[in-house]
Amino acid sequence: MAPVLAFERLPCVDGEVVTITINGRAHEVDARWTVAAALIAHGHTRCRCTPAGPARGPFCMSGVCFECLVDIDDTPNRQACMTPVAEGMQVVLRQDLRVLA
Amino acid sequence: MKELHPDVVVVGGGLVGLAIAEGLLRQKLRVTVCDEGDRAFRASRGNFGLVWVQGKGVNSAPYARLTSCSAQRWPDYARQLQRDSGIDPGHTRRGGLSLCLEADELAEKAAAMATLKRHTPGFDYEVLDAAGVRRFLPSASPDIAGGIFSPQDGHVNPLQTLHALLTSFEAQGGTYLPSCSVDDIQYQAGAFSLTAPGKCLQSARVVLAAGLGNARLAPLVGLHAPVVPVRGQVMITERVAPFLAYPTTSVRQTGEGTVQIGDSQERVGLDDGTLPETLAAMARRATALFPLLRSAQVVRTWGALRIMTPDGLPLYEESRSCPGAFVATCHSGVTLAAAHSEIIAPWIAGHASPTLLETFDGARFSV
């Protein structure tokens, strides 16, 4: 079984805070973060499923690997690492594959 | 142990080279493959993974027969590859479709398939209207003219296949030398000396399976391989729930849920980049065929150079001035992989040349 990664926030200068929801649960997160950073900070190192293997999550943190796809507000499968957080943002981690319609 | 004095050196470690090399191992020969490095052009990553029969060899009955023969061998070939490598090539053969937006396109294709049926009576196909296509692919647009379905078409995971081939080759004792681009080949007293950076190999037989590189290498051993690059661009979407149960010639969905969109054929020399205009045209056609693709996100695109001979048919030839040197090159390295392993390799190993191969001799290119 793949190891569960534990991330620790390093000391840094305090910044502004915004509130986002992850799977309906509200969290205060650093306004400078990307959605991927916010997910990892709150224990969501796996955020999507795949048809042929185990769950996956943010990996490259730079827009290349496309493993950090989550639903953000009304748009499905956005790259969490390329999206800065914003006040009131709703992030949903899919439990199933996106169905094209 | 790295074999620098094998029975055969295969120049080129792509789908063609490795399939032949693996087949040669089964002929009980010691085989070394010399491959370029990671930055080589590699047609092996520029294909659609189709193991395709329909439409192949309309102008050449022998090519139709070779294609059909290879496609029929593929299921057992895939099982053998998986047994020997532990890697599943992901081959399925449930049928495939080519789709047409316009009625005249469909009529042309239907006529071509009728000709193909005359060449290879065992070829099965159906001409379908839009409703017929949608029985196989419910998400196809109702506005298309129709398409051709053949139960004998299939597809495979091309990267897994390459991985399986290399793993199987090494597991059976083959030597694979990466970053070993062959600079020169000398023939003397029935033996070949190959020079690569920091290495010299000797063998009684050489197989040129270096794709576009064959053009440069062939004259070194008295052969002529007039191959040119044809670029294909591909778009890859995010992974979505399965909706395409059958592959088509320009849109297919992989087992991981990714949708792969082709298909372009461009003569742009050695440029393996992408062009927005071409990608846009591919996207327009793909969404005209499958409207629900409009909302799919494109994850990456790339271009790759494939191989084309003057008549589009494979080239398999033994050198007359340097016996023991062979060239093997083709456009459909995926479909023909089973034939390369099970028909071409035995011929290279010294078995009688199948009559089927006469058509593919390079003499046909001489003016």
Of A77, A97, A100, the CB nearest to B292: A100
pLDDT at B249: 96
Of B238, B243, B256, the CB nearest to A52: B256
pLDDT in tens, B294-344: 999 898 999 999 999 999 999 999 999 999 999 999 999 999 999 999 999
Which residues are within 8 A (CB) of A8 and not within 5 positions of it... i.e. 6 or more apart?
none
Q: What is the pLDDT along chain B (367 residues), one digit of tens a residue?
A: 567 999 999 999 999 999 999 999 999 999 999 999 888 888 888 888 999 999 999 999 999 999 999 999 999 999 999 999 999 999 999 999 999 999 999 999 999 999 999 999 999 999 999 999 999 999 999 999 999 999 999 999 998 999 999 999 999 999 999 999 999 999 999 999 999 999 999 999 999 999 999 999 999 999 999 999 999 999 999 989 999 999 999 999 998 899 999 989 999 999 999 999 999 999 999 999 999 999 998 989 999 999 999 999 999 999 999 999 999 999 999 999 999 999 999 999 999 888 888 889 988 887 5
Q: CB–CB of A98 and B255 under 8 A?
A: no
pLDDT at B313: 96
Q: CB–CB of B255 and A52 under 8 A?
A: yes
Q: CB–CB of B238 and A66 under 8 A?
A: yes
Q: CB–CB of B243 and A99 under 8 A?
A: yes
> Complex ipTM, two decimals?
0.77
Distance from CA of B141 to the nearest CA of A (A): 12
Whole-Å CA distances, A97 to A56, B66, B209, B257: 12, 40, 41, 9
pLDDT at B337: 97
Distance from CA of B160 to the nearest CA of A (A): 14
pLDDT at A4: 62
Say which range, A26-35, A55-64, B115-124, has the weakest mean pLDDT: A55-64
Helix, strand, coil content of chain A in percent (nearest 5): 10, 35, 55
B130: left (phi over 0), alpha (psi -120 to 50) or beta: alpha
Q: Assign A3 a pLDDT band (cuts: 50, 70, 90).
A: low
pTM of the entire structure? 0.90
Percent of chain A scored above 90 by pLDDT? 57
Three-class DSSP category at B29? coil
Distance from CA of B264 to the nearest CA of A (A): 24
pLDDT at A1: 54
Query: A52 to chain B: which residues are within 8 Å by CB?
Result: 255-257
Mutate to test the interface with A, among B88, B235, B238 (most CBs of A within 10 A): B238
Q: CB–CB of B241 and A50 under 8 A?
A: no
Reported in sequence order, the residue ranges of B1-119 that DSSP labels E, i.e. its strands, are 8-11, 31-34, 50-51, 96-100
pLDDT at B367: 59
Q: Please, are residues A94 and A76 in contact by the beta-carbon 8 Å criterion?
A: yes
Distance from CA of B85 to the nearest CA of A (A): 19
Query: B240 to chain A: which residues are within 8 Å by CB?
Result: 97-100
pLDDT at B336: 97
Distance from CA of A46 to the nearest CA of B (A): 16
pLDDT at B139: 97
CA–CA separation, B25 and B15 (whole Å): 15
Tell me the backbone φ, ψ of residue B131, rounded to 5 degrees: -65, -40
